[in-house]
Amino acid sequence: MKTLKNRICHEVDNLLGTKETIQYDDIAKLEYLGQTLKESLRKHPPATGTVRVTTKPEKFGQFQIPKGAKLHFSIFISHHLPEHWRDPEQFIPERFSVCNKNRISNFVYFPFSCGPRVCIGKVFSAINATVLMARLFQTFKFQLVSRQAVQRDETLTLHPKGGVCCTIKERSCAHALN
C-alpha cells in the first residue's frame, strides 16, 4: 500500500505541483489516481446491487422470464468473480490502465449501474473524487492505524463498519500547498 500511495503522490506532484486550482484537463492526466479510484469502486462499489424489471417476456438460457419480473443484479459479486477478474480480492489499479481497459466489459464492471439507467451522477462523482483525492494527496500524508480489523457494513450502500482510523499529517515536501 505504501508503494501505491507513493506512486499517487508522485503523479500528483509531477502533474499538479503547487497548483491551487485543478483544471478539467488535469483530471485525465492523473491516470494512476483514476485507475486507483476505479479499482476502489470495483472492490467496494457504492451500492450492493441494482434491480431491473422486465418489460416483456425473455428467455435466458433455459429460463423463461415473464414480463414484470424483478431481476436483482449484485454489483459486488460481479466485481469479485474470478472468471472475470484475475486475483479479484487483490487491489490492482493497473487493471484499469489504458492497455487493459478493453478487457473489461460494461456488464462486468458497473459500480454506477449500466445501460439506459446508469447513475446520472457517474461522471460528476468521478470528477469530484479525482479532484478531492488529488487535493488531499497534494496537501496531506495518510497512514492507516495498524492492526485494524476493517469489516464491511452491507446495507443499501457498502461502507466500513465503524469507519477506518488513520493518521493525517500535513506534507512537508516542496509540493505541499501553502
Most confident of 43-52, 60-69, 143-152, 156-165: 60-69
The answer to the question of whether 119 is labelled as a binding residue is yes
DSSP-derived letter for residue 59 is: E
**Going by C-beta distance under 8 Å and a sequence separation of 6 or more, which residues neighbour residue 61?**
none
The larger pLDDT score, comparing residue 13 to residue 177, is at 13
Low-confidence winner among 21-25, 26-30, 130-134, 150-154 (lowest mean pLDDT): 150-154
Dump pLDDT digits (tens) for 91-130.
999 999 999 988 888 789 999 998 888 999 999 999 999 9
Distance CA 162, CA 144 (A): 14
Q: CA angle 88-119-12, nearest 5°?
A: 60
Residue 175 has pLDDT above 80, yes or no: no
Residue 178 has pLDDT above 50, yes or no: no
Q: What is the pLDDT of residue 132?
A: 97
Distance CA 164, CA 151 (A): 9
